[in-house]
Amino acid sequence: MYARIKDVLSGRFADGEEVEVGGWVVKNRSSGKIVFTLIRDATGEMQVTARKGNVCDEALKVADALSLECSIIVKGKVRSDPRAPGGKELSATDLKLIGASRDYPIFGEEEHNPEVLLDLRHLDVRSKQLVAIMKVKDSVLSAAREWFRNHEFFEVTPPIIISSACEGGSTLFELKYFEDKAYLSQSAQLYLESLIFGLEKVYSITPSFRAEKSRTTRHLAEYWHIEGEMAWMGLYEMIDMLEQLVCYVCNRVGEERAEEIRLVGGDPEYFKGLKAPFPRITYDEAVKVLQADGFEFKPGEDFGTHEERQLSTHYDKPLFITEYPAEVKAFYMKDAGNGKVLNVDMIAPKGFGEIIGASERETDLAILEERIRKQGEDPAKYAWYLDLRRYGSVPHSGFGMGTERLVRWICGLEHIRDTIPYPRTISRSYP
């Protein structure tokens, strides 16, 4: 394997030491006898200088003709130079063109129409901005897995092809399944609930699909869903746990990906320093806050983007809002008695909106059947799920965290589409 650019820049190799680096051309500037080439690999960017006399004429000709995104292998001597990005360069002794790149359609700094960039997403995924965001996402996923493993959760692999809605029929994607029909999973929850009777604490990281008709900056038709389900746990114990999970992931990612977060315009220090406890208010208290803020809001309705944004202006940490009206929430949420359910949404500050949806689950069979019917679904389609209440049911709770929502908040991004390599929305399923 070739030397990594970050290792060359970090001083791992002494001046004069010869190393070999593989990478792609970011910029090329030639004055005939000397060619300055900025190359990148997955660890960073550095300058390569090809000088007449140091490289053979053939290699100098290759260097001179390099264009955006050519892939090259360069052998050279490490040389400290304060004028070079990162304070070091490779003074080339040999340079080979591996993959030509003529007229690369995305020009470095130029502003491009977002739709054009999305049509060229298969190329744009190598851009500095998207590479940085994908590194942040990698850290989010690995930090989450580490937290789950350290807290006795088992990772499980629930089905993606499913037979009944978890989050309402209006956002289901239907597919032809042999001679039958099936759907793409909106959430692994119902299957995770079946798995707690053997494993007690389970999690999954899967794609969830929502046929959202809305065009917003925080909805995708396909997103990655970090979901947990815990036997014996009630709502408020789960909220304590969610604070620990979110702080662990944010602290780790803020530490590990500070450079990338800064590069895309985020504030890593905030996430490095995020600490529990987070503020907690009930739905009714949230309604009072909105009304005191002069917001026109009809009590009994769900909070939308505007309400969540307004509520988040009162706090600089994520806000837990609990006990929503039963009518606006899913059938599986445990009845809290006063027309409310034992659920919680976690709303990120600064208008980044809902990151987590969670609840204690209804375990009373009759109440559950009634709520399935009230939501216009046929309990017969949930026969397997209702069996979980017939055989050794226990109090349990669970949550779903949107990975892309979390990455968007950590990176401080305007639109969720840049948090996933290939965003799927109502108007895009290409490339």
Ligand X SMILES: NC(=O)C[C@H]([NH3+])C(=O)NS(=O)(=O)OC[C@H]1O[C@@H](n2cnc3c(N)ncnc32)[C@H](O)[C@@H]1O
Whether residue 222 contacts residue 207, with contact meaning beta carbons closer than 8 Å, is answered with yes
d(CA 226, CA 143): 12
In the complex, the smallest distance separating the C-beta of residue 105 from ligand X, rounded to whole angstroms, is: 29
In the complex, the smallest distance separating the C-beta of residue 113 from Mg ion, rounded to whole angstroms, is: 32
In the complex, the smallest distance separating the C-beta of residue 210 from ligand X, rounded to whole angstroms, is: 4
Pick the stretch among 150-158, 242-250, 263-271, 394-402 that binds ligand X (CB under 6 A): 394-402
Q: Which two structure tokens, joined as six digits, stand for 238?
A: 């789960």
- Letters for 351-390 (x = contact with Mg ion by CB under 5 A, - = none) are ------x---------------------------------
In the complex, the smallest distance separating the C-beta of residue 26 from ligand X, rounded to whole angstroms, is: 32
As a dihedral over the C-alpha atoms of residue 208, residue 212, residue 217, residue 223, rounded to 10 degrees, the angle is 10
Other C-beta atoms closer than 10 Å to the C-beta of 36 total: 17
- Letters for 337-356 (x = contact with ligand X by CB under 6 A, - = none) are -----------------xxx
Query: Which amino acid, 380?
Result: A
Q: Is 254 in the site for Mg ion (CB under 5 A)?
A: no
Tell me, by CB under 5 A, how many residues bind Mg ion: 1
Q: Is 317 in the site for ligand X (CB under 6 A)?
A: no
Helix (H, G, I), strand (E, B) or coil at 231: strand
Other C-beta atoms closer than 10 Å to the C-beta of 346 total: 24
**Smaller CB separation from ligand X, 325 or 398:** 398
Helix (H, G, I), strand (E, B) or coil at 43: coil
Pick the stretch among 92-100, 180-188, 350-358, 419-427 that binds Mg ion (CB under 5 A): 350-358
DSSP structure class, residue 96: E
Which of 135, 177, 327 minimizes the C-alpha distance to 343?
Answer: 327
β-strand 280-282 against 319-322: which pairing, if any?
Answer: parallel
Which of 104, 143, 99 minimizes the C-alpha distance to 127?
Answer: 104
Q: Is 318 in the site for ligand X (CB under 6 A)?
A: no
In the complex, the smallest distance separating the C-beta of residue 164 from ligand X, rounded to whole angstroms, is: 13
Number of H helices, E strands in the chain: 14, 16
In the complex, the smallest distance separating the C-beta of residue 165 from Mg ion, rounded to whole angstroms, is: 14
**Smaller CB separation from Mg ion, 318 or 357:** 357
Task: Using CB under 6 A, list all residues that contact ligand X.
Answer: 166-167, 187, 189, 210, 212, 219-220, 223, 225, 227, 354-358, 398-402, 404-405
Residues forming contacts to Mg ion in the complex (CB under 5 A) are: 357
